[in-house]
Amino acid sequence: MTLPAITLIFAAAAVLVNFWLGMRCGQVRMAEKINHGDGGNTLLHRRMRAQLNFAENTPGILILFAALELCGANTTVLMVVAPLYIVARICHGLGMDADSSKLRTIGVVVTMLVALGLAGYGVYLGYGLLNAGDMPAAMGAAV
């Protein structure tokens, strides 16, 4: 079995982005002396939402990404999609600071396209593996 090295790098990058998003919240908390919640501070609320949105989207993407890599997905596709997703999430995080931002729009659209693309690729790849008989009996393939 090939180890999911691309997923490992992707997951490490995602942890760094999450850390960065948390630090951005912390900067506002320290400057405004807000210990809990958002304290009614709009900027802190936006940054908290950016981090939460990342936390809502990223686990599912990483799980699907790992499954694709383990099932033999095209490595070039994976090596393009992973940084694309990371850049999109950075754009979204930066764009959340403003009332209206092209960066946020780019982040949202690219995140959605990546999610839909990976899901479609997963269905395609999984269906192909099932029909080719490449699924081991222990994983539920008909013997």
Query: First-to-last CA distance in the chain?
Result: 21
Vertex 11 angle, CA 100 and 89, to 5°: 5
Higher pLDDT: 28 or 138? It is 28
Predicted pLDDT at 113:
98
Residue 48: is its pLDDT beyond 60? yes
> Which domains does the chain carry?
5-130 (1.20.120.550)
Phi, psi of 101 (to 5 degrees): -150, 135
Predicted pLDDT at 73:
94
Which long-range contacts (C-beta less than 8 Å, at least 24 apart) are formed by 126-131? 126/71, 129/71, 129/72
Query: Is residue 122 a contact partner of residue 68, using CB atoms and an 8 Å limit?
Result: yes
pLDDT tens across 54-79, in order?
A: 999 999 999 999 999 999 999 999 99
